[in-house]
Chain A
Amino acid sequence: MNYRTPTGGAIDRNTVLRFTFNGQSYTGHPGDTLASALLANGVHEVGSSVKLGRPRGIVAAGSEDPTSLVQIEAPFPEPMLLATTVELYDGLVARGLAGQGRLANEPDPARYDAKHEHCDVLVVGAGPAGLVAALTAARSGARVVLVDEQNQAGGALLGVDEYLDDRPSAEWVADVVAELKSTPGVLVLERTTAFGMYQDGFVLALQKRTDHLGFAAPASVARQRVWRIRTRQTVLATGAHERPVVFADNDRPGIMLASSARTFRHRYGVLPGSRAVVFTTNDSAYCAAIDLAESGVDIPLIVDARASAPSRLATECAARGIEVRAGHVVTGTEGSGRVTDVHVAPLGSGHADTVVCDTLLVSGGWNPVVSLFSQARGKLRYDSELGAFVPGEELETVRVAGSATGELDLTACARQGRNAGAAAAIAAGFTPSGQVPLPTSDSRCTARSGLVLWRVPGAEDSSFVDLQRDATVSDVLRATGAGLRSLEHIKRYTTIGTAHDQGKTSGMIAAGIVAEALGVELADQRPTTFRPPYTSVSFAALAGRDRGELHDPVRVTAIHPWHVEHGALFEDVGQWKRPWYYPQPGEDLHAAVLRECQATRESVGMMDGSTLGKIDLQGSDAGKFLDMLYTNMMSTLKVGKIRYGVMCGVDGMVIDDGTVIRVGEERYLVTTTTGNAAKILDWMEEWLQTEWPHLDVHCTSVTEHWATIPLVGPRSRDVLAAVAPSLDVSNEAFEFMTWHDTEVAGVPARVCRISFSGELAYEINVTAWHGLAVWEALMAAGAVYGITPYGTETMHVLRAEKGYPIIGQETDATVTPQDLGMSWAVSKKKPDFIGKRSFARAENNRTDRKQLVGLLPVDPSVLLPEGSQIVETDRLPEPPVRMLGHVTSSYPSAALGRTFALALVRSGHERIGETLYVPVDDSLVPVTVTDSVLYDKEGARRDG
């Protein structure tokens, strides 16, 4: 059957689009939605319900539809879209869903993006009220953004055939849009849904830019865009949704909202069926009935729940042979799939008639769309005449206009728009010029509200409140029967309003049924909270451009190209890419690291340490400030010298470590761990700005100004001498923990003698610009010694062999310097420093705290997994098993010729020499507890 009218509708009848739904081929036209095209082909049954598997159809014509969820399969799989909001395109393949869809297995080839926009006045909704508001604001010279979720402006006018001022309404709309689009500073966004309203005029809107083009969508254009709008003033002209009335078996396909049927008729040229019964509580459905009757639909009966029908409309109906039965209601329906009969009875009690039909149109009144107003923290008020929550207060920067306020008359809506647009412009500092003329409609439907009726008594188990959640009147009564009174609780108990549609058609009815069941006034009930997003937003749209290589910034050092060229594998450290190791052909991680360690300990190696955080401190109080930050004394450091330091939080737990270089009398350079560079700068600024603003110190990050190259191993002195001919590299002239400014490879450099491996080592700092060239010069100069680049893994092994902890690996915010065996780095003399007070707490002085020790597996070839637990006995006792601690680092060691580990162990320092056990798979591995320093305890290698 073809339900397309011979004329009418904003569709291009000359172009035929082919599409497939549930395996069947159909045709439609540009301008159709999937829903209108299905209805044109006589298809009402779209999917089935999520829990009960009952057939479900199309209830509404827009984004408020609770039932028509479909899965798009081609051009690209996309789940959970509403057939009523999918614009038809050629080649579309879709199928109906039972509540849940499937995500694609393959990456989405489409582009997604975001764009920031700023305006003086944002207008949401391009119906009569929104258009007049936008035009009023635009004529004042304000920057205006108008967003509307439809593919064309007009709002409710799109679904009717009214004339405005004796012209088709589309002409009035087109004129307004044309003026808006030609006004500088005005942005009109179609297919754009404002889905979230936040504080300070921040609004998120999703624009579907190429979805409607289907296979023809250009690859270079972002398919969807999240607009991040910041506005000074907002006018919400979001309209109203028609709501149904609940009755027994109200969920069959073919049961539709009356105004939606009218929209399908006028916007798409589609009739909902051949024979339609209309059930209403107000006047608006009469217009739908008359329009459809004039289009050839047989309308045998209008069932009006009100005691008397509106006389003028009833007369018009009688002239068209439509029976009007006032004081009656629909009590139930029949049909194996689509509705075939409706039962009609007097409201209250009495004999029920059965009327044959293929369509039932329902209208229970109108719910203003107050979601965004509520998100903006606007209070709602129950309007007992409308039977709906309406905006209940004025907000400073948010105004509501049109049917979103509950107003039903077109001219009155437009007037509200004009007033709101003018007020918004004035509030934003502009002066409206003249008054936009208000349109007048020829509509025969008077704007008057009807009877508030939530449900018709009947079989509660099949009286559906939320069609998508399969939640019935029984479920609501079960909730109130269980003692729930708050709508928020009942929402969660019944799941009503939690589906894709967020209860657009069901929420108000649920509130009404609850109030009836509890015998309370709706005015005293608090409505459930409206939360973003107003309509579903895909994760792809929210991710936008932040995916693939742009997912998170990749930070690279100046020397990075060399690492790539030389086959380094990389480790992510924060956002940095750091060389992990440099495998030679055939080498795995272990082989490469053993080689790198051995070369470094026996000759010379070097690594890229540029990622170390570096902070320049200047000022007469810099030393005093550092004394407060570090646990040890820094102000006594002499110019030219370097000291290692530990930083604690106020709880006395280690947060970072690094070196402090005294550059001058009032100038220091401190290093932080790679991952903590920003955190420590913030930490310093916080103390300076909030606690010690009197201190004369300024902190400046220079992390990326310097490229830093540790040159490590017994031959490092020879290599340095070769590239820094003006520097006296002798042990006497260049002592451990001192620095010198010199030239390396012909460029100014600061060379520090510090070591994170126990070997003779230098840290060469040059500007980042020169990092790559200096690195290459060092490689060339070291070639005779077999200089070996090494990565973070070898660095970790070399430092672990010396028992040097890595903050964040050996520590986890519960570890004190004392736990790490670093009491030597905690000043006893300083009157105060951050964390000092906590060291006196009883907890900090327990002897059974977890302390850093070394572990040597009795079998020297066993590698303990990092994170392994440590227990006391060689057999596991009945649970609970006392855990003594865990393995923090574990490596095979070239220098030791065996595996080893570092661990935090209860009373670890007292346990040195004991045998403990580490559960690995099904066995308990015996390990010997040792001092954490396992290599070169006497420090003989430090000076080369």
Chain B
Amino acid sequence: MTADPTSPLAAWTDRLTFAPALIASERPFLSQLTVRVSDPDAVAALGSALGVVFPSVPCTFTTGSGPFGAVEVLWLGPDEFLVVAAPDLQLPIEDALRAVPFKGSVVDTSAQRTTLVLEGSHVRDVLAHGCSVDLHPSSAPVGTCVQTLLARTGIILQVTGPDRFTILVRSSFAQYLAAWLSDACVEYGAVP
């Protein structure tokens, strides 16, 4: 008897296409680990363990590849990072990080948030209805990563392409966010 996992937006699986405004898709079950560390040497060592250089510039994210495949590291604060990798790697990644001696913490927060990819010509318009961060490419180029509010829920926002964003949202807020997106896309021709 093994219980099957259910993603926070399972109920929205077939309803996340808000064409022609934008297309949203959930990337469920990603491995996510919250790392708190401030010593630069430790930061470098943790990065080496994963094959990725941790971001040193605030409000950015980095990508790399190593023993756990493609890994992203998101800057969340002066000593706080979120490591994101493919599903089912949270335990080995946690072990690999713990193998590095450092002062700080590593916490498996994989199910704390789910991940939505938004892409389409109106994605900036739709986000601008609920997000006060300036997402103009001159201000938020690809590689930007900020913690902010979208409508009335906290999110982590990554700029991953010219018209492509990744949003990490707390699992309990995910359905609210999907409902909000659905409503905000009506203005751009999506059928509610």
- Which residues from chain A sit less than 8 Å from chain B, CB to CB? 111, 113-118, 143, 220-222, 228, 230, 545-546, 549-550, 552-558, 561, 576, 616, 618-620, 696, 698, 700-706, 723, 745-747, 766-774, 776-777
Kindly state the separation between the CA atoms of A696 and B109 in the bound complex, as whole angstroms.
Answer: 21
Asked if A113 and B129 sit within 8 Å, CB to CB, the answer is yes
CA distance A453 to B139 in the complex (A): 52
User: At the interface, yes or no: B13 with Cβ under 8 Å from chain A?
Assistant: no
Whether A774 and B129, one on each chain, are in contact in the complex, defined by CB atoms closer than 8 angstroms, is no
Contact between B186 and A111, CB atoms less than 8 A apart: yes
User: Is B123 interfacial (CB-CB < 8 Å)?
Assistant: no
Q: Give bound CA distance, A889 to B126, whole Å.
A: 46
Shortest distance in angstroms between A612's beta carbon and chain B's nearest beta carbon?
12
Which chain A residue lies CB-closest to B29? A769
B179 interface residue, CB < 8 Å from A? yes
Besides A545-B184, A618-B107, A769-B7, 17 other CB < 8 A contacts? A115-B129, A116-B128, A116-B132, A116-B134, A220-B187, A222-B187, A545-B180, A555-B170, A700-B109, A723-B1, A745-B3, A747-B3, A768-B112, A770-B3, A772-B6, A774-B3, A777-B1
Q: Does B3 lie within 8 Å of A746, measured CB to CB? A: yes
Residues of chain B within 8 A (CB-CB) of A561 are: 11
A545 touches B111 (CB 8 A): no
- Closest B residue to A769 by beta carbon equals B5
Closest Cβ neighbor of B87 among chain A residues: A769
B153 touches A553 (CB 8 A): yes
Least distance between B183 CB and chain A CB atoms (Å): 6
State the B residues within 8 Å of A (CB): 1-8, 11, 28-29, 34, 36, 103-113, 125, 128-134, 136, 139, 151-153, 170-173, 175-176, 179-180, 183-184, 186-187, 189
Looking at the assembled complex, report how far the CB atom of A339 sits from the nearest CB atom of chain B, in whole angstroms: 47
Q: Is the CB of B152 within 8 A of A552?
A: yes
**A698 with B105, Cβ < 8 A, contacts A113-B184, A118-B139, A550-B183 known:** yes
- Give A696 to B112 CA distance when docked, in angstroms: 24
If the complex has contacts A556-B175, A696-B103, A767-B111, are A746 and B2 also in contact, measured as CB distance less than 8 A?
A: yes
Would you call A704 and B113 a contact (CB within 8 A)? yes
- A702 touching B112 in the complex, CB below 8 Å, given contacts A745-B2, A773-B4: yes
List, sorted by A's number, 21 A–B pairs whose CB atoms are closer than 8 Å: A113-B129, A116-B128, A116-B131, A220-B186, A545-B180, A546-B152, A553-B153, A555-B170, A561-B11, A576-B172, A704-B111, A704-B170, A705-B109, A745-B1, A747-B3, A766-B3, A767-B5, A769-B7, A769-B111, A773-B4, A773-B5
If the complex has contacts A550-B179, A777-B3, are A619 and B103 also in contact, measured as CB distance less than 8 A? yes
Q: Which of B3, B131, B175, B183 has the most CB of A within 10 A?
A: B3
Contact of B152 among A228, A553, A704 (CB under 8 A): A553
* Partner of B172 from A222, A555, A747, A770 at Cβ < 8 Å: A555
Instruction: Give the distance in Å from the alpha carbon of A117 to the alpha carbon of B129 in the complex.
Output: 9
Q: Specify which chain A residues have a CB less than 8 angstroms from the CB of B151 in the assembled complex.
A: 545-546, 550, 553
Closest to B188 in A: A220
Return B37 CB to nearest CB of chain A, in Å.
Answer: 9
When the two chains form their complex, are residues B34 and A700 in contact, meaning their CB atoms are under 8 A apart? Answer: yes
- A554 proximity list for chain B (CB < 8 A): 175-176
Contact of A118 among B125, B136, B184 (CB under 8 A): B136
* Residue of A228, A550, A769, A777 with highest tally of chain B CB at under 10 A: A769
> Could you say which residues of chain B place their CB within 8 Å of the CB of A698?
36, 104-105
Q: How far is the CA of A566 from the CA of B26 in the complex (A)?
A: 27
With known contacts A546-B152, A706-B111, A558–B6 Cβ distance under 8 A:
yes
Are A704 and B3 touching (Cβ within 8 A)?
no
Q: Which of B109, B112, B113, B151 has the most A CB atoms < 10 Å from its CB? A: B112
Q: Is B6 in contact with A773, judged by CB distance below 8 angstroms?
A: yes
> Is there an interface contact between B173 and A555, defined as CB atoms closer than 8 Å?
yes
Whether A773 lies near B3 (C-beta < 8 A) is yes
Are B172 and A556 in touch, CB under 8 angstroms? yes
**A744 (CB) vs chain B CBs: closest residue:** B3
| Chain B residue at smallest Cβ distance from A743 | B2
Give every chain B residue within 8 A of A220 (Cβ-Cβ).
186-187, 189
Q: Are B107 and A616 in contact (CB under 8 A)?
A: yes
Those 3 A-B pairs whose CB atoms lie nearest each other, nearest first: A773-B3, A746-B2, A618-B105
Name the residue on B nearest A549 (C-beta). Answer: B179
Chain B residues whose CB sits within 8 angstroms of the CB of A746 once the complex forms? 1-3
Interchain CB contact under 8 A, B6 and A769:
yes
Q: For residue A557, which residues in chain B have a CB less than 8 angstroms away from its CB?
A: 172
Q: Contact: B109 with A702, CB < 8 Å?
A: yes
List of A residues within 8 angstroms of B111 by Cβ: 704-706, 767-769
Q: Are A558 and B105 in contact (CB under 8 A)?
A: no
Contacts of A555 in B (CB 8 A): 170, 172-173, 176
Closest chain A CB from B84 CB (angstroms): 14
- Tell me, in angstroms, the Cα distance from A220 to B184 when the chains sit together: 10
- How many angstroms from the CA of A770 to the CA of B111 in the assembled complex? 9
Contacts of A777 in B (CB 8 A): 1, 3
Q: With A143-B136, A704-B112 in contact, do A616 and B105 touch (Cβ < 8 Å)?
A: yes
How far does the alpha carbon of A222 sit from the alpha carbon of B5 in the complex, in Å?
Answer: 39
The residue among B104, B110, B128 with the most chain A CB atoms within 10 A of its own CB is B128
The chain A residue sitting closest to B103, CB to CB, is A696
Q: How far is the CA of A230 from the CA of B136 in the complex (A)?
A: 13
Residue from A553, A618, A723, A770 within 8 A of B176 (CB atoms): A553
Q: In the complex, what's the smallest C-beta–C-beta distance from A119 to chain B, in angstroms?
A: 9
**Closest approach, in angstroms, between the C-beta of B76 and any C-beta of chain A?**
11
B175 proximity list for chain A (CB < 8 A): 554, 556
Shortest CB–CB separation between residue A688 and chain B, in angstroms? 11
B108 — nearest CB in chain A belongs to which residue? A705
Residues of chain B within 8 A (CB-CB) of A143 are: 136
A222→B7 CA distance, assembly (Å): 32
Q: In the complex, what residues of B have CB within 8 A of residue A556's CB?
A: 172, 175
Q: Which residues of A contact B184 (CB under 8 A)?
A: 113, 545
Instruction: Determine which residue in B4, B129, B153, B171 has the highest number of CB atoms from chain A within 10 A of its CB, and name it.
Output: B171
Closest to B182 in A: A550
Alpha-carbon gap, A770 to B179, bound state (A): 23
Query: Chain A nearest CB: distance from B38 CB in Å?
Result: 10
Nearest chain A CB to B182 CB, angstrom units: 10
How many whole Å from A114's CB to the nearest CB in chain B? 6
Measured CB to CB, the closest approach of chain A to B66, in angstroms, equals 24
Closest to A622 in B: B105
For A669, give the chain B residue with the smallest CB separation: B107
**In the bound complex, CA of A222 to CA of B183 (Å):** 11
Q: Which residues does chain A contribute within 8 Å of B112, judged by CB atoms?
A: 701-705, 768
Q: CB-CB < 8 A to A706: which residues of B?
A: 111
Chain B residues, Cβ within 8 Å of A230: 132, 134
Contacts of A696 in B (CB 8 A): 103
CA distance A576 to B172 in the complex (A): 8
Most buried by A among B107, B108, B139, B173: B107
Minimum distance in angstroms from B187 CB to a CB of chain A:
6
Expressed in whole angstroms, the Cα–Cα distance for A561 and B11 within the complex equals: 9
| A704, B7: Cα distance in complex, Å | 12
Q: Which residues of the other chain, B, contact A776 by a CB distance below 8 angstroms? A: 3
Most buried by B among A554, A698, A767, A771: A698
- Cβ 8 A contact of B173, one of A553, A616, A768: A553
The answer to whether B152 and A702 have CB atoms under 8 Å apart is: no
Q: How far is the CA of A220 from the CA of B6 in the complex (A)?
A: 33
> Quick one: given A545-B183, A545-B184, A550-B180, are A704 and B132 in contact (CB under 8 Å)?
no
A561 to B28, CA, bound (A): 18
Report the nearest B residue to A770, measured CB to CB.
B3
Q: Which residues of A contact B2 (CB under 8 A)?
A: 745-747
Complex-state Cα separation, A355 to B16, whole angstroms: 72
Closest chain A residue, CB of each to CB of B153: A553
Nearest-CB distance from B169 to chain A (Å)? 10
Contact residue among B34, B153, B187 (Cβ-Cβ distance under 8 Å from A221): B187
A616 partner residues in chain B, CB cutoff 8 A:
105, 107
CB distance from B138 to the nearest CB of A (A): 8
Q: In the assembly, what is the distance between CA of A222 and CA of B125, in Å?
A: 14
Q: How far is the CA of A766 from the CA of B111 in the complex (A)?
A: 10
Does the CB pair A705–B110 fall under 8 Å?
A: yes
Considering only CB atoms, which chain A residue lies closest to B139 in the complex? A118
